Amino acid sequence: MENFKSPKAIIALLALIAITAVVIISILRDRIVNQQPWQVAVVGQGKVAYQPDIADVTLGVQIDKVAKAENALNQLNDKVNKIIAAVKAAGIPPEDIQTQNYSLYPQYDSPDNVMSLSGYNANQQLLIKVRGIDKEPERVSKVVAEATKAGVNQVVGVSFDVSNLEELKQQARIKAIGDAQIKASSLAAAARVRLGKVIGWWENIIQAPGIGNAYYGDKGGMGGGLGTGATSSLPTGSQEVILEINLNYQVR
C-alpha cells in the first residue's frame, strides 16, 4: 500500500493515464478527419446514331476430297488467286485483302465401319474490307458477286464498321455524363441531400461496331454451291453507339 502511494507510483499512473488519453484522442480525431463520405452512384446513357461506311466481308473457298494433298493445295491456290484478282478489279486495294484462315486436312470415310482415307480437303478464307459503303451501298454485293464468279463457295459473314468510331464514342460519353448529371440532380432534390464533387466514374459500352453486329450468310460459313453471281442485298441502315457512364458523387 505504501508503494502504491509513493510519488513514483503516482507519477507512473498519471503517465499511463495521459498516454491512454492521447491514444483515444488520436483515434477519435482520425475517425472524424478521415471519415468516409457518403456516396451515391448514378448511371447515365448516351446514344449516337451513325451510318456504317465500312463492311468487313469474309469469303472462303473449300476444296473437298482431292486424292493428293499437293493437288488440293494447288487447286485452292489457283482459285484464291483468281478471287483476289476479281476483288481487286472490283476496286478493292491489296492492303484491304488479307488471309483469315488457311488449312489442309485429310478426309476419312467409313464404309462398312472401316475407316479409310478418301482424299484431302483444303480451305482458305479471305477478309475483305469494303470502304465507302455509306455512299455506295451496292459495293458489298458487287464484291461478293465478282468473288463468287471467280470461285468463292463460302460466305462466312459480313460485319459493319465506321471509320470515326472513337469520335462517336466520345460524343456518346458526353451525352451519358449529361444524362447522369440530370438524374443525379433530380434524385438529390427528391432525397433532400446535397451532392458534392464526382469522385469516380466508369463506362460500359452497350453497343458499338464489333459488338454483336455481324451478319451471317444462310450457310453459316459452311461449304456449298453459291450460284454464279448469287448475292443478296445487305442494307446497313442507321446504327447506334450506346454507352453508359456511372458517376460516383459525394453526398454532403
CATH of the domain at 114: 3.30.70.2970
- Report if residue 121 sits inside a domain: yes
Q: Could you give the number of structural domains in the chain?
A: 2
Whether 47 is in a domain gets the answer no
pLDDT at 215: 45
SS3 assignment, position 228: coil
Considering the domain architecture, whether residues 18 and 75 belong to the same structural domain is answered as no
Does residue 128 sit in the same domain as residue 64? yes
How far, in Å, CA of 188 to CA of 249, rounded? 10
Q: Which of 249, 153, 150 is nearest to 198 (CA)?
A: 249
Q: The whole model's pTM is what?
A: 0.68
Task: With respect to residue 72, please indicate whether it lies within any of the assigned structural domains.
Answer: yes
Residues 148 and 69 in one domain: yes
For residue 19, pLDDT beyond 90:
no
The helix/strand/coil state of 217 is coil
- What is the predicted pLDDT for the residue at 229? 45
Write down the residue that cell numbers 427528391 correspond to.
190
Q: Which domain holds residue 147?
A: 53-160
Strand partners, 249: 40, 198
Q: Are residues 148 and 76 in the same domain?
A: yes
Q: Residue 97: what pLDDT?
A: 97
pLDDT in tens, 137-169: 899 999 999 999 999 999 999 999 999 999 999
Joined together, the cell numbers standing for residue 67 give 486424292
| pLDDT tens digits, one per residue of 207-245 | 988 765 544 444 334 344 444 444 456 666 789 999 999
| 234 in a structural domain | no
pLDDT at residue 52 in the model: 94
